[in-house]
């Protein structure tokens, strides 16, 4: 009885791990939060210290073809209050070339016109 319970428990854990976490990250995948902090935050808000920003991954990484999309909610110190930015980081890899682009969904502060919003950038 105990043995069959252990087998059922291990099968359930395997099923949950397989369904709940999607594709495992490979060693070649970039650290998306670090990539956003080091590139997108500096581009969108150059006066903000990226190290003081709190970045929460809300969704993803979702892969469609050669493009991976990750949605972030970023809390960063503003002039008067703590501001919030919601954005999607898109990473495209074709062969050995990796490029990134940012789609700003919402921002409680005004952001600088940033090249990452308009064009793909190699990294």
Residue 59 CB partners (closer than 8 Å, separation 6+): 70, 71
Q: What is the pLDDT of residue 8?
A: 44
Least Cα distance to 67 among 24, 18, 120 occurs for 120
Q: Which two tokens stand for residue 7?
A: 């087998």
Q: What is the pLDDT of residue 25?
A: 47
Q: For the segment 6-49, what is each residue's pLDDT rounded down to a tens digit?
A: 444 444 444 333 333 444 445 456 789 999 999 999 899 988 89
Main-chain phi, psi angles of 79, to 5 degrees? -70, -40
Q: For the segment 68-101, what is each residue's pLDDT rounded down to a tens digit?
A: 999 999 999 887 889 999 999 999 988 888 999 9
> Which of residues 111 and 70 earns the better pLDDT score?
70
Spatial distance between the Cα atoms of 44 and 72, rounded to a whole number of angstroms = 14
Spatial distance between the Cα atoms of 123 and 18, rounded to a whole number of angstroms = 31
- Sorted by where each begins, the domain ranges of the chain are 27-122
């Amino acid at each position: 009885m105990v043995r069959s319970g252990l087998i059922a428990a291990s099968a359930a854990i395997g099923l949950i791990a397989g369904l709940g976490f999607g594709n495992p990250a490979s060693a070649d995948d970039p650290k998306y939060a670090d990539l956003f902090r080091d590139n997108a935050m500096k581009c969108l808000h150059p006066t903000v210290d990226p190290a003081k920003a709190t970045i929460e991954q809300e969704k993803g990484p979702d892969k469609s073809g050669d493009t991976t999309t990750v949605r972030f909610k970023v809390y960063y110190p503003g002039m008067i209050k703590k501001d919030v930015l919601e954005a999607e980081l898109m990473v495209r890899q074709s062969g050995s070339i990796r490029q990134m682009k940012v789609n700003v969904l919402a921002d409680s502060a005004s952001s600088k016109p940033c090249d990452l919003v308009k064009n793909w950038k190699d990294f």
